[in-house]
């Protein structure tokens, strides 16, 4: 697809694209036949779309041990004499665990009972590659049993006929379509927040750029037949007439002139969370939003970098829920954070941590059952220097699917997983 054609998808910061890397096949195989389905779904939003899920990816491998800290465990300081958080600085949430001091703003949610902390989260036979492990989380497929690379959210959309063909069912503000949304049969959207090229990323990691270039090639090597270009333009133009839906949502929010929320300034993650709040409060029909924040690959000089990231995240999320609460929508939204893996238990020689296994997840919202869930991994019973996971991440997914989105988690996840009891 030419740059000119791709730019025709862009209108006021919204890109209409097919899911994941299956876009060419989607248009090639049955483009004309699907036109009426897509346009019909756009004009008839999903029923019961009041329950919304916001996924927040901590990209790079978040150090769970310095995020939720076992402040009473003497093994903690032995493993981390330089980068460990001092007991006096830990924000205690109970008599054993506490939050990193930069996460203190989140206590506003925790004390309301609107924040769950899930500890020891991972999966069997962990993978230490950023991309392979993130793929596992996005596909919910640690054993590589899927015949096709269809994301877990895409499978959820597929189970709901109202969501399957509506490009606004899933919306990512991360610049690139996440694998969680990926399918040849599902449509979703990328909100580029003013960027001209939705495939451009500020991530400088070489491996990431190589993967990104490979994905970009699928869109630019001419696999979409010229006979279908009019279809692409037509759907894009008609759908965003339904960018009109985006514009209307943003305008509705601006008329509220809400002063309750104060987002961190000049920060991409904060801006993304503010945009999600605007779209939700403005009445957009999107069911699942996806936001990513990078920088968690803390091999060296971890204390400042990790703390700065957590601080912005905490302030942004609190502002986000204040925004929602000001309009009575905080009980309609669940936010779930995740990362591809944790870090090793022992600090390295560069005042950082290397790739590890189990980490933590946060689940927040007015409908969430707050508190600590899961068994915190032992710091003295390690496996090759790594924490042993105690909570399979698919149990959290199952809880969100069954208890929040009203889906059949066994069908979506390809197996039965005991819900953690968060919602």
pLDDT tens string 319-345: 999 999 999 999 999 999 999 999 999
- Residue 229 has a pLDDT of 39
State how far the Cα of 394 lies from the Cα of 409, in Å rounded to an integer. Answer: 9
Residues with Cβ within 8 Å of 274's Cβ and at least 6 positions away in sequence, in order, are: 261, 263, 316, 319, 320, 323
Q: 418 in a domain, yes or no?
A: no
Q: 68 in a domain, yes or no?
A: yes
As beta bridge partners, residue 355 has 343
Backbone dihedral angles phi then psi of residue 420, each to the nearest 5 degrees:
-75, -25
**Where residue 137 falls among pLDDT bands split at 50, 70, 90?**
very high
Secondary structure class of 172 (helix, strand, coil): strand
- Domain tally, the chain: 1
pTM over cut 0.75: yes
Backbone dihedral angles phi then psi of residue 350, each to the nearest 5 degrees:
-105, 20
Give, as one character, the DSSP assignment of residue 377: P
- Residues recorded for the chain: 423
**Where residue 105 falls among pLDDT bands split at 50, 70, 90?**
very high
Average pLDDT over residues 310-322: 97
Q: 170 in a domain, yes or no?
A: yes
pLDDT tens string 183-240: 877 667 777 654 333 222 233 344 444 444 444 333 333 333 333 334 334 334 434 4
Q: 67 in a domain, yes or no?
A: yes
Q: What's the mean pLDDT when you consider all of the chain?
A: 80
Q: 422 in a domain, yes or no?
A: no
CA 207 to the chain's CA centroid: 20
Backbone dihedral angles phi then psi of residue 5, each to the nearest 5 degrees:
-65, -45
Average pLDDT over residues 110-139: 97
Q: 327 in a domain, yes or no?
A: yes
193: number of Cβ within 10 Å: 14
Q: 419 in a domain, yes or no?
A: no
CB contact at 8 A, 199 and 176: yes
CA 417 to the chain's CA centroid: 21
Residue 286 belongs to what domain range? 3-413
Does 27 or 236 have the greater pLDDT score? Answer: 236
Q: 371 in a domain, yes or no?
A: yes
């Amino acid at each position: 697809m030419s740059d000119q054609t791709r730019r025709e998808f862009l209108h006021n910061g919204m890109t209409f694209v097919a899911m994941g890397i299956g876009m060419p096949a989607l248009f090639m195989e049955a483009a004309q036949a699907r036109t009426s389905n897509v346009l019909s779904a756009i004009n008839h939003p999903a029923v019961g779309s009041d329950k919304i899920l916001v996924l927040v990816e901590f990209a790079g491998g978040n150090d769970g041990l310095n995020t939720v800290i076992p402040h009473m465990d003497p093994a903690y300081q032995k493993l981390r004499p330089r980068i460990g958080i001092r007991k006096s600085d830990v924000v205690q949430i109970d008599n054993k665990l506490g939050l990193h001091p930069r996460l203190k703003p989140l206590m506003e949610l925790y004390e309301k009972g609107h924040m769950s902390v899930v500890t020891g989260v991972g999966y069997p036979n962990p993978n230490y590659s950023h991309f392979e492990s993130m793929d596992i989380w996005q596909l919910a497929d640690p054993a590589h049993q899927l015949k096709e690379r269809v994301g877990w959210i895409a499978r959820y959309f597929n189970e709901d006929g109202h969501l399957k063909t509506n490009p606004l069912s899933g919306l990512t503000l991360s610049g690139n379509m996440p694998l969680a949304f990926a399918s040849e049969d599902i449509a979703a959207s990328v909100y580029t927040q003013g960027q001209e090229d939705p495939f451009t990323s500020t991530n400088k990691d070489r491996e990431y750029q190589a993967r990104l270039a490979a994905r970009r090639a699928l869109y630019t090597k001419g696999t979409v037949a010229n006979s279908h270009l009019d279809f692409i333009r037509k759907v894009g133009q008609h759908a965003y007439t339904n960018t009109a839906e985006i514009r209307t949502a943003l305008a509705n929010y601006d008329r509220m002139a809400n002063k309750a929320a104060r987002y961190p300034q000049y920060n991409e993650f904060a801006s993304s969370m503010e945009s999600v709040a605007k779209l939700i409060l403005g009445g957009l029909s999107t069911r699942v939003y996806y936001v990513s924040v990078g920088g968690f690959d803390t091999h060296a000089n971890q204390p400042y970098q990790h703390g700065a990231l957590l601080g912005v995240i905490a302030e942004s999320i609190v502002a986000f829920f204040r925004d929602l609460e000001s309009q009575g929508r905080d009980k309609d939204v669940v936010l779930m954070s995740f990362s591809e893996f944790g870090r090793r238990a022992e600090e390295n020689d560069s005042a950082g941590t290397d790739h590890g296994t189990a980490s933590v997840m946060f689940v927040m919202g007015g409908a969430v059952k707050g508190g600590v869930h899961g068994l915190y991994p032992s710091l003295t019973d390690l496996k090759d220097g790594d924490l042993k996971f105690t909570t399979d991440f698919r149990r959290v997914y199952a809880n969100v699917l069954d208890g929040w989105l009203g889906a059949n988690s066994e069908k979506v996840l390809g197996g039965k997983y005991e819900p953690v009891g968060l919602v």
